[in-house]
């Protein structure tokens, strides 16, 4: 983390519907709330743009990379608000007929796309009264993604005129999506990062048992901040998602959390705190495998 001060981040929790425009409108309201609170980066949840009645509904809003209303929305929001945005996930076209990638795109504060991550691990779960298999509609990605994100802070009174916060600041960001959280080797493959983001739509069943546990484990073992960003309530399709969007520090402590409902979680990341933990307990330097 090349920083002179703390970084303010926002986790945007939603209860997305089967209607694309309604979801974009609500996301815009919540992103504006995050920017108003001083966030320099905001993260949207998995499937923020659509929680359909059936898995195949997402095929109707599939976009090609670089083109489409969802990507245009994310770019415009980042540019107009002067913040970096991790755009939850959206369906991008794949080579396989009838299947898409579940993709997270990162936009900088000028609205430019700077990273793409395709979800690698596809969720499959058989519960008592629920069943999921993302492989029916999704194609798995292949490549872990970590990158440097330049940090900006909007000039007061001119949110669309972002200026570098200190000039030299950047955040080393590791991208992952929902079910990826269960696979620690993914995060090791990224190398040391400052912040791991996990846009998600955890089911209530699995979330209640494992969501916070896994988020805190990833923070402790990688000695970095972790931001979990969830869908958080009962959707029109009958699915209940767990919510509990939260930010966790490198010692595994939960800084802020929103249990359920729509809203914004705001937290400040401290490079001094992260570096102090890594210095006092240099576990990353002690790795053998």
User: Nearest 5°: CA angle at 50, between 68 and 109?
Assistant: 55
CB neighbours (10 Å) of residue 285? 8
- Full DSSP string of 70-129: HHHHHHHHHHHHT-EEE---EEEE-SSTT-EEEEEEEE-TTS-EEEEEE--SPPEEE-SS
Q: What is the C-alpha to C-alpha distance for residues 169 and 249, in angstroms, rounded to an integer? A: 19
Distance of CA 266 to the CA centre of its chain: 14
**119 is an active site residue:** yes
Distance of CA 248 to the CA centre of its chain: 14
Q: Which of 58, 99, 119, 153 is catalytic?
A: 119
Q: Which of 99, 153, 178, 260 is catalytic?
A: 178
User: Which tokens hold the place of 184?
Assistant: 């620690």
Q: What is the C-alpha to C-alpha distance for residues 211 and 254, in angstroms, rounded to an integer? A: 12
Q: Are 183 and 241 in contact (CB under 8 A)?
A: no
As a 3-state breakdown, the chain gives helix, strand, coil percent values, each rounded to 5, of 30, 35, 35
State the burial class of residue 98 (Cβ atoms within 10 Å of its Cβ: 0-12, 13-18, 19+): exposed
Q: Which of 46, 134, 260, 262 is catalytic?
A: 46
Catalytic residues, by residue number, are: 46, 119, 178
């Amino acid at each position: 983390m090349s920083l002179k001060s703390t970084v303010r981040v926002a986790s945007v929790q939603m209860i997305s519907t089967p209607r694309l425009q309604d979801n974009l409108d609500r996301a815009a309201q919540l992103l504006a709330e995050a920017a108003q609170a001083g966030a320099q980066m905001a993260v949207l949840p998995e499937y923020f743009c659509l929680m359909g009645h059936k898995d195949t509904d997402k095929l109707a809003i599939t976009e090609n990379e670089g083109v489409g209303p969802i990507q245009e929305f994310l770019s415009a929001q980042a540019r107009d608000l002067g913040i970096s945005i991790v755009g939850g996930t959206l369906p991008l076209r794949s080579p396989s007929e009838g299947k898409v990638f579940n993709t997270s795109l990162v936009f900088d504060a000028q609205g430019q796309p700077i990273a793409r991550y395709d979800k690698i691990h596809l969720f499959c779960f058989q519960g008592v009264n629920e069943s999921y298999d993302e492989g029916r509609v999704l194609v798995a990605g292949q490549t872990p993604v970590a990158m440097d994100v330049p940090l900006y802070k909007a000039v007061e009174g001119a949110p669309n005129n972002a200026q570098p916060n200190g000039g030299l600041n950047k955040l080393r960001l590791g991208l992952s999506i929902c079910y990826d959280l269960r696979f620690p080797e993914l995060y090791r493959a990224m190398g040391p990062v400052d912040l791991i983001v996990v846009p998600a739509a955890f089911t209530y069943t699995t979330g209640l048992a494992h969501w916070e546990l896994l988020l805190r484990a990833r923070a402790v073992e990688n000695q970095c901040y972790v931001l979990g960003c969830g869908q958080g309530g009962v959707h029109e399709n009958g699915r209940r998602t767990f919510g509990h969007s939260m930010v966790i520090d490198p010692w595994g402590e939960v800084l802020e959390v929103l249990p359920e409902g729509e809203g914004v979680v705001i937290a400040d990341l401290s490079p001094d705190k992260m570096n102090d933990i890594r210095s006092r307990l240099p576990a990353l330097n002690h790795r053998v495998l």
